[in-house]
Chain A
Amino acid sequence: MKRFALAGNPNCGKTTLFNSLTGSTAHVGNWPGVTVEKKDGVYKKLPEPISIIDLPGIYSLSPYTNEEVISRNYILDEHPDAVINIVDATNLERNLYLTTQLLEIDVPVIVALNMMDILTKKGDEVDVKTIEEKLGVPVVAVSALKEDNLDDLMKRAYDACQKQREGRTIIRNKDILHLIGDVTIAFKGKNVENPLFHAIKLVENDELEVNSHKDLVPMVDDFKKTFNDDTFGDDFEAIIADDRYHYIADNFHDVILVKEKEEVVEGNKTVKMSRSDKIDKVLTHRVFGLLIFAVILFFVFHLTFSENLFFLGGLFKDVKPSFEGTLYEGLFWTDGGINSPGVILFNFFDMSFSAIIDLVGGWMSGAPEWLTGFVCDGVLSGLFAILGFLPQILVLFLFFAIMEDTGYMARVAFILDRIFRKFGLSGRAFIPMIMGFGCSVPAMINTRTLADDKERTATIRVIPFFSCGAKLPILTAIAGGIAMAFNFQYVDVITYSMYVVGAVAAIVCVLIMRNTTLKGDAAPFIMELPEYHWPQFKALMIHLWDKAKHFVKKAFTIILASTIVIWFLSSFAWNWKYLGEMDGSILQSLGQLIQPLFTPLGFGAQLSAFGWVFAVAAITGLIAKENVIATFSVLAAVIVSGFEGTEEGVEEAMIMIQNTGITWQGCIAFIAFNMLTIPCFAACATARAELPKGQFKWTILFWLAASYIGTAIIYSVLNLFPSNIGGQAYKNGQLAWAIPVVIAIVVIAVLTVFGIRLWNKRSSKKQGA
């Protein structure tokens, strides 16, 4: 099968084109570096099927980061039958820079002039004919998004790939050309493929090239001695880069007919401003930028989790809605507070699932006891406990996807860079971290956009601290359980604070690592800021569909299997007799064995009868984090006979709390432990693959230490507060207890930060002396 590779600058629409050509649903975003792995798909509308390979975006063929190496190696070593170079027509100058390099390779190149829909909308026109004449390869104007002209593009690519094409350079400096010619001949003599390309890279003093062809370096160096340019001296790298840009400016400055931008008077100067610029002016405002970001983040969580939307509860205190007492009350209304969209969806799923379990329980009334137990307690309640969280996860992701797709996320990296640098990371590390809120696996893979290995290692290690979608059920269920058991209303405050705890733990750990085992300066931060655009409905839906698919698949495979195992272990005794209750079960004896380990964390030996469930849940979480609540659910059904997995974990958590006598401090410590400890199997495997050799075992040790120490600290601090948060003292100011918790954690973090800085200063002074 013929293979066409898609190459182009980051964020120029490669993945959109890939999706349109192959009908697949790869994730697209509006920041540079969404694709960090190559993906393939098949295009079927030509005489023969064509394999399409989507490569990570590159600015040049001299790679800077790991994912750029993937693209270069693919194009050079895997011999695609053609390279489709996607060029963003709205940013021709920089995009053509890569084109000038691709043309130097002996491979058929087709230029796809993308984003034509945006140009046309602005009223601009492009002279495609001239571009084609100047470049000497086929040029097709397309819109990957609107799927305009794609068949024409593929037809021309198919024609082009039938013929061999020899590399050609646009470099015009006569002396350099002479040298390149000589080196090319030397490469040809050595039978190296793509001699022209390699010769130019060697003259450019490209790191990879110099390392693989050390024998030819003297040739360039000798020439350098005889060479002296007026402006650049013997700096070949600068001369060639300059030559490429000059070529582009000279030949292509008039191929796009631009309609004038709207003009806005700013101060006493006239500055051209587009709509994107105006939005940007607000969102990255010098004073309010950070504040706006914090507020946006708060509302994202508020709209997803709150049971008291916009804090309007007080207004409706005495209102009796007409639907009081009906199903609708539970759906939209909780104790006078309006539910957020996330909670409404959650309740809807919850009610449907309860109805199904009731129905199935009814059907099976005549079946043997253990079979009913297996179907209702083992399979259904575990499964529904997980699926019940799907709506809230999707709502949260919808918000993240919007932030990403509009281009705001790249600005967030921009406004946060200064802060991140204090911890030894670049603003770019923010992107994989925020992806960590979704799933650690793609987040860890995305760290390939970080140029520095130590920064990458540190980032990969703390990514699990950014509570992923699978940990969300732990948070909501236990927070909900606390609310029910201790009569506390602000579930979203607990959820929000726990996210903050995770982020603070990540910052402290990065800081410690970057000052001890992974010492080094912050890597440079040079990043393109894409233009803002409206989120694309299609892209958002693709993203959500992707997430939902992944989640559901996991629920029916690994999680279903684990819940059945847990059900078995918790309902049977060592003599394989069905008990139908927990006392004397296999799981109980196993749990009791490890339970004392968690005593300093608040969910160990101090708990009564069923206290070991927390230990067991934490262990099952190592397989997949969804298991924690699934375990609760299965166990709750066994503890309280006749209990059906109704409230998707919340009621289960409450049963756990009531039957174990755990304090609210212990509950929070348990959430924290699960957030900070070793992530699931899948994340571990990814970390192993992405980390530099030999770092994985230390990383596992790091996770264990971080979770144990971190949770012990949180538990101790929380114990400074009274344990009856639902009591009279707290009724009057229910938020009051959450504030000292957050403050205490922040204070500890700040002290650690200053401690390390001081210690660093001292040790550097010692070295100086």
Chain B
Amino acid sequence: MLKKLVEFSIGETGLIKKVEGEGRLRRRLFDMGVTPGATVYLRKKAPLGDPLEITIRGYELTLRKSEAELVILEVEDAK
């Protein structure tokens, strides 16, 4: 099932299928390792629900919901 990162709930894991957006923002996401094929684990949300903290490529990255809107993932089965 395809889902945007912003729609993930805490503890969910997914495989990036596509990164939307354009220009410098998209470039930055790529450079930080947010590329198709990477596995993302949504660790937590900040106290006010935004930004999000994810584990990707073995490190912790924080990004806002507005940026998480651009990342489309295939949800991995929890079991």
Hey, which bits of chain A sit against chain B, CB under 8 A?
Answer: 59-60, 62, 64, 91-94, 97, 206-207, 231-232, 237-238, 241-242, 245-246, 266-267, 269, 271, 284-290, 414-415, 417-419, 421, 427, 451, 524-531
Contacts and interface: CB of A to CB of B under 8 A. Distances in A.
Contacts, number: 125
A93 B62 contact: no
- Main secondary structure, interface of B, reads mixed
A417 B46 contact: yes
B46 A289 contact: yes
A691 B19 CA distance: 33
B46 A415 contact: yes
B61 A525 contact: no
A414 B31 contact: no
Contacts of B44: 284, 286
The 5 closest A-B pairs by CB, nearest first: A60-B31, A418-B48, A241-B30, A289-B47, A529-B60
Interface residues of B, number: 37
14 contacts: A59-B32, A64-B27, A64-B31, A91-B59, A97-B31, A284-B44, A287-B47, A414-B46, A415-B47, A418-B48, A427-B51, A525-B64, A526-B28, A528-B60
Given A289-B47, A414-B46, A414-B62, A97 B33 contact: yes
B22 to A, nearest CB: 10
B52 to A, nearest CB: 10
A241 B31 contact: yes
A415 to B, nearest CB: 5
A284 B53 CA distance: 10
A246 B67 contact: no
Main secondary structure of the interface of A (DSSP, over half): mixed
Most buried by A among B25, B29, B38, B62: B62
Contact of A417 (B23, B25, B36, B50): B50
Nearest to B54: A529
Contacts of B30: 60, 237-238, 241
B62 to A, nearest CB: 5
Q: Output the residue of B48, B63, B78 with the most chain A CB within 10 A.
A: B48
A188 B50 CA distance: 48
Contacts of B37: 242, 245-246
Contacts of B78: 269
Contacts of B19: 238
Interface string B39-73: 00000111111110100011111111011000000
Contacts of B51: 414, 417-418, 427, 525
Given A237-B26, A524-B66, A526-B63, 8 more contacts: A60-B27, A94-B33, A238-B19, A417-B51, A417-B64, A525-B62, A526-B64, A530-B60
Nearest to A281: B44
Contacts of A59: 28, 31-32
Nearest to B11: A269
A91 B32 CA distance: 12
Nearest to A205: B27
A568 B23 CA distance: 61
